[in-house]
Amino acid sequence: MNCLITAKGLTKNYGRFRAVDHVNFQIAPGRVVGLVGPNGAGKSTTLKAILGLIKYRGELEVFGRNPRIDRAEIMHDMSYISDVASLPEWIRVDQLLELMESTHPSYDLSKSLNFLARTEIRKSQRVKQLSKGMKTQLHLAIVMGINARMLVLDEPTLGLDIIYRTEFYDQLMNEYFDHQRSILITTHQIEEIEHILTDIMIIDKGKIVINMPIDDIGIHFTQLKTAKESAEQARKLNPVFEKDLLDQAVMIFEDIDVERLKEFGEVSTPHLAELFVAAIKGTHHG
């Protein structure tokens, strides 16, 4: 199966600062990929390279094209939602939809209208009259009308309350996603997207430290909760991360025989948020 995005040795420097450091990854059709990392880790720079907005070193193909040379063609098949308010404040909703219909070759107005009919957004309203949550819904309505092969979401629910955030991801998965399309999401709200992801890429200081399907986390990583008196023996098995939890120690191990851990306490597969902390603060380096 042809990948939608392939990066090999992708590197970007801003002066002496290396924002992205020789990263390699692929995104296939039908995947929901979370690109997560702390502030300044390289998430936004990676997205800008994919969108053809910056120069870079290394190899990068998006839909088999070079995003620096073929950006216009690539954007016909890609939709992008950022946390930055990018819609013009003065425009009316109906004018914005008409503009999309007249300028985007694969836009289906009826799909956007069907989506908006289930919201409180009126076509006569101007963007400046909409709340942040309604603007995000409007963004999503436009995306619904574009027959894109990939959707890139950069902190799409930043600043929204939990109801809007939950509805956003539910609508995204129920009405947009299918097995020919892929979604790439960057977010700080890891817990909110864990249930929809098929793949996780954790980036830190410009390097991807974990890159795997969600289903493989339980194969490679094991969490142990053990009493403090057993912790010293468990520690000899070299956890990649450890923290204290009341009267217990919580450890995460990589590629270890789970049976060896069971004698020390309760074993489980770490949640994505726990794995994220282990990757950033622990000894794991990919």
Lowest-pLDDT choice from 28-32, 102-106, 230-234, 257-261: 102-106
Can you give the pLDDT at residue 227?
Answer: 93
Q: What residues pair up with 221 in beta bridges, in sequence order?
A: 254
Sheet strands (E) in the chain: 5-14, 17-27, 32-36, 57-62, 78-82, 150-154, 182-186, 199-204, 207-213, 221-227, 241-245, 248-254, 265-268
pLDDT 10s digits, 126-140: 999 998 888 888 988
Q: Are residues 141 and 176 in contact, defined by beta-carbon separation less than 8 angstroms?
A: no
Interacting residues of 151 by C-beta distance below 8 A, sequence separation 6+: 78, 79, 80, 81, 143, 172, 176, 181, 182, 183, 184
Q: For the chain, give the mean pLDDT.
A: 90
Distance CA 237, CA 6 (A): 36
Strands 32-36 and 182-186, by their bridges, are parallel
Does 171 have pLDDT greater than 50? yes
Of 121, 159, 124, the closest CA to residue 142 belongs to 121
Q: Count the alpha carbons within 13 Å of 19 in the hemisphere toward its beta carbon.
A: 18
Strands 221-227 and 248-254: antiparallel
Q: What is the pLDDT of residues 15-62, one digit of tens each?
A: 999 999 999 999 999 999 999 999 889 999 999 999 999 999 999 999
Q: How far apart are CA 259 and CA 9, in angstroms?
A: 38
If you average pLDDT over each of 41-50, 164-173, 185-194, which comes out highest?
Answer: 41-50
Domains of the chain and CATH, by start: 5-205 (3.40.50.300), 216-281 (3.30.70)
With a CB cutoff of 8 Å and minimum separation 6, the contacts of 103 are none
Is residue 190 within 8 A of residue 169, CB to CB? The reply is no
